[in-house]
Structure 1
Amino acid sequence: MFVRLKKTLEGLLYDNTIEEEHYRKIRQKSSSGSAITVGLVAAVGGFLYGYDTGLINDLLEMTYVEKNISSNGINFNVHERALLTAVLSLGTFVGALVAPILSDRYGRKFSIVLSSAIIFNIGNILQVSASEVNLMCIGRAVSGLSVGILSAIVPLYQAEASPKWVRGSIVYTYQWAITWGLLIASAICQGTRKLTNSGSYRVPIGLQFVWSLCLCIGMFFLPESPRFYVQKNDIQKALDSLTKLRRLPHDDTDLIEELVEIKANYDYELSFGKTTILDCFRSGGARHKQTLRIITGIGVHAFQQCSGINFIFYYGVNFFASSGMKNFYLMSFVTYLVNTVFTIPGLILVDIIGRRKLLIGGGIGMAFCNFIIAIIGVTVKHNEINSIISISFSCGFIACFASSWGGAVWAIASDIYGISIRQKAIAITAATNWLVNFVFAYITPYLIDTGKHTAALGNRIFFIWGGLNTLGVIFVYFMVYETKGLKLEEVDYMYQNCANSRVSTKFKSGKL
């Protein structure tokens, strides 16, 4: 099945009608299969996040968990629900900021293994052992630290290991893995939720040991990023890594040319002096329009997280249950399934129509669906009709998100920074993702629940999501430059020569 999937992706991602002859020859010699393998294995880091996120949505509604872990022995109050859900994101925020310290010093590969094998499993042990809220929160925070590190390193590793014609799709697999994690967590919880013992939550949590082990074993067979070795001035290891990734002999002229370009670009950036975290926010040297670039990365990540998607995935079961739906667990599973299936079109289209068009089109569809849900919620009083329409357009919203903002944001953020600051900048943008995630995960119960100190917005919260989707589309139109088909070393040249984001779509890749 894995081999068949890999061949299918290779066939879909090739477009021999738009490439220059020079790169067609490279493509004939260099299979994208290696890059796809790297992408799928490393993307298991996204699966860990998706699975842990999917768990909390279901666990908080399990009868045994409510009676034995909540403070009142009946159900979780608003504060407990908010804290248990959001504390993972707080850990991921810290983890993303820590990532450059590990990745730039010890390498992308080692950092991924360390994070998944040790840090994640410490958090998981605490979660499995938990029998009250505080220990569960501590465990989720520690696991979040690992997930945050992975979120800042995995897309970077995927981008640095991939050839330009499939880079966007390879990075998109990180998001696809998240959707699989959500889906499988929901399916497993469906099978354990009726258990009347601690196995109801300890079995699905304990399975995370298996997922982290899969990532660790897979990473041992993958090469380190050649760009990391270039940063360490170890050209021989960089050549060995590139040879494995491109499946070309050491003396191949195209392989050597690619390595020379990477090295020359890094030396050029380094000639202006060593970089610090502050250089992520200021232009200079080989960092043209750097302030614009970091704002772009921060902006797309922020708008992704305040799109409303996590409202459904964090609180979907609770929201569907409060809406009077009987099969609310099944409905939650359906939303995860839609998310997984509709990530595939985005994975294909990101390197065909490009990042800009995908984000703009998807954002318009998301805004439309959210506004419809909100309008129906305040105008239609018949609960059954209201529920049917809300669920239908919720699935429409998820489909639009999955095929655009879900993965294209990670692709953009991993494309637009120079090698000397790339890991630091991606860490900042990923940390923004988790910070906004934490804020909305924490405040959402207070916005939708009824009772004291809550806003009780109900369906009206979708007006907020729709408005933020609209702002996101406007942001992309004016701020996001198109990086489809460009080598990472060409992106700075594109920023230097394109007056604005609208004309960036006309910039063509060429030999530097």
Structure 2
Amino acid sequence: MWFNIFIAAFSSIGAFLFGYDSGIIASVLTMDRYLAKFGDDPSITGAVVSTFNGGCFFGAAIAGWANDKYGRKRTIQLGALVALLGASLQAGASNVATLLAGRIVGGLAIGILSMTVPLYNTEIAPPKIRGFLVGLTQQMIGIGFIVANWVGYGSQYIKSDASWRLPLGLQLAPAALLLVGIQFLPYSPRWLLEVGRDEEARAVVHRLHGATTEEERSAADAEFVEMYTTIKAEVSERSRKLSDLWATKAMVRRTLVAVGVQSLCQFTGINVINYFGPLMYKSLGVTGDRALLVQGIYGAIGPIANLFFIIFVLDRVGRKKPLIFGAASFVATFSILAAIVATNPPLPDDAPGGTFVNVAAQRAGIAMIFCTTVFFSLSFGPVSWVLASEVFPTKVRSMGTSVATCANWAFNTLLSQVSPLAMESIQWKFYLIFVCLNLVDLVIIILFFPETKGKTLEEMDAVFGDVKRNMSADDLDAGEGREKARIVYHP
């Protein structure tokens, strides 16, 4: 088990990059030296964020093909390599065009990693702790945000362009570590079976089980035979067509659940806070270095809640109940936040007595923003990565996870482009959009989302009702496929 945890934690450096790159821009966009060089036009601010997210969309799309062709491990290396280029362009930018190019390239890298890391962790995880291991993705995203927020807070006091170049350039270190270190981790055993490297797959399964005793070896062999039987049946009917994702009623449901959970994750509004937190705090009368300080504290709360959740809750209560809790919570927090800003508008900066009349309301508004990250970390944050990567059969898992992640980034791009403009033009009414979206989320989750906790990846057929695939597995179980597995791997 500890080896599984180490693998998941190390591969999740890719998620750390995701969190850091996404989080650092919130601080950089408010720095005096950055503003002096690039200005504060809302359209450029939105473009700096949305081009990154657009790059993530295309990166996630590319990753689906790369994962099938080269495997999960090599695709993570590809993402790390592209991240090095993107970070270099951002840190060395001398004009808006170069900065945007760096954001696009950096986005390609994060798109690749955001899709592949949870997929890899899903395929090396035992069912009993799969929620925890895949939930480490969100944990490392959160830690990345913490580091980004505090690096940004400290860097604002540098009286040169290094104030924004340094935090953008620091992405090079984790990218280089991931590029080199992932080489020493095992391939996904399920991908090895897909490409016919059966002996390597069996060795990896034994290694993941830490199989040193006869009982452990027997358990490892039993899991391997189950993988072998199901995956070989799937490979025999693989077509690699995107239409496979809606070829049957069961596949339509799988796809809608995976795409849905990733899309609904954006409807929570969490990334609006992550990207534009200082602008939200400004609407509450908190400006300057105080806004960055509050953003730094905000970033530290989520990972603490997330760690508690993935260790003690996720694999016990499942996936559906936390999502219901999260959607209902966001309806409440955004309703209260909208009411506070609507009834207590900020005053001009030069107004007597400060920028916000009601200090108690200001604190309540900040508390609602903080509650949002806590509730997100107890629901959509970790669950979205777990559910989207575990619902698909092996034959379409990389393609399906890629499509689901693309949906995440598509809505992320849309919200990141319009949010700064919306907060400036319609102000508190913008928060009502998220009240409505989360009400819709709540209904969809209650009516259509299944529970998948405790199931092996090969047992998801029963959850989604894949009658055809169950018949194929039964035929193989009674025929030469499983018998071959027994003869070859149980001498």
> Would you call these one fold, judging by a TM-score over 0.5?
yes
Q: Give 1:301's match in structure 2, choosing from 262, 265, 270.
A: 262
Q: Distance in 2 between matches of 1:345 and 1:373?
A: 26
Q: Distance in 2 between matches of 1:466 and 1:245?
A: 44
1:468 to partner: Cα distance: 1.1
Q: Which amino acid aligns with 1:101?
A: W
1:422 to partner: Cα distance: 0.3
Equivalent in the alignment of 2:286: 325
Q: Which amino acid aligns with 1:128?
A: A
Within a 5 Å distance, the mapping from 1:76-475 to structure 2 comes to: 76-116=40-80, 118-249=81-212, 252-283=217-248, 289-326=250-287, 327-348=290-311, 349-380=313-344, 382-449=357-424, 456-475=425-444
Contact 2:284-2:365 at 8 Å conserved across structures: no
1:162 to partner: Cα distance: 0.6
Contact 2:337-2:365 at 8 Å conserved across structures: yes
Instruction: State the SS of the aligned residue for 1:340.
Output: helix
CA displacement, residues 257-316 of structure 1 (integer Å, 9 cap, x when unaligned): 111111110122234343322101221xxxx61101101111111110121111111111
1:242 to partner: Cα distance: 1.2
Contact 1:96-1:151 at 8 Å conserved across structures: yes
1:193 to partner: Cα distance: 0.7
1:195 to partner: Cα distance: 1.5
Q: Distance in 2 between matches of 1:215 and 1:366?
A: 35
Q: Give 1:490's match in structure 2, choosing from 452, 459, 466.
A: 459
Contact 2:250-2:466 at 8 Å conserved across structures: no
Compare the two structures and name the one with the higher helix fraction: 2
Within a 5 Å distance, the mapping from 1:47-62 to structure 2 comes to: 47-62=16-31
Contact 1:346-1:358 at 8 Å conserved across structures: no
Contact 1:277-1:424 at 8 Å conserved across structures: yes
Q: Distance in 1 between matches of 2:48 and 2:396?
A: 34
Contact 1:119-1:145 at 8 Å conserved across structures: yes
Instruction: State the SS of the aligned residue for 1:421.
Output: helix
CA displacement, residues 77-133 of structure 1 (integer Å, 9 cap, x when unaligned): 1110100011110000000000122111111111101220x2111111111110221
Gaps of 5+ in 1: 1-31, 71-75, 450-455, 499-511
1:234 to partner: Cα distance: 1.1
Contact 1:109-1:224 at 8 Å conserved across structures: yes
Q: Distance in 2 between matches of 1:487 and 1:153?
A: 19
1:249 to partner: Cα distance: 4.5
Instruction: State the SS of the aligned residue for 1:352.
Output: helix
Contact 1:192-1:200 at 8 Å conserved across structures: yes
1:202 to partner: Cα distance: 1.4
Higher RCO structure, 1 or 2 (CA under 8 Å, sep 6+): 2
Q: Distance in 2 between matches of 1:331 and 1:394?
A: 10
Q: Does 1:65 find its partner at 2:29? A: no
Q: Which amino acid aligns with 2:74?
A: F
Return 248-257 or 148-157, whichever deviates more. Answer: 248-257
Q: Distance in 2 between matches of 1:250 and 1:228?
A: 26
Q: Distance in 1 between matches of 2:119 and 2:213?
A: 24
Contact 2:189-2:201 at 8 Å conserved across structures: yes
Q: Distance in 2 between matches of 1:180 and 1:273?
A: 38
Instruction: State the SS of the aligned residue for 1:165.
Output: helix
CA displacement, residues 452-485 of structure 1 (integer Å, 9 cap, x when unaligned): xxxx222222211122112112111122111100
TM-score (norm 1): 0.85
Q: Which amino acid aligns with 2:412?
A: N
Contact 1:120-1:143 at 8 Å conserved across structures: yes
Instruction: State the SS of the aligned residue for 1:107.
Output: helix
Q: Distance in 2 between matches of 1:479 and 1:90?
A: 29
Q: Which amino acid aligns with 1:319?
A: M
Instruction: State the SS of the aligned residue for 1:229.
Output: helix
Identify if the C-alpha distance between structure 1 residues 306 and 273 changes in structure 2 by more than 3 Å, giving closer, same or farther: closer
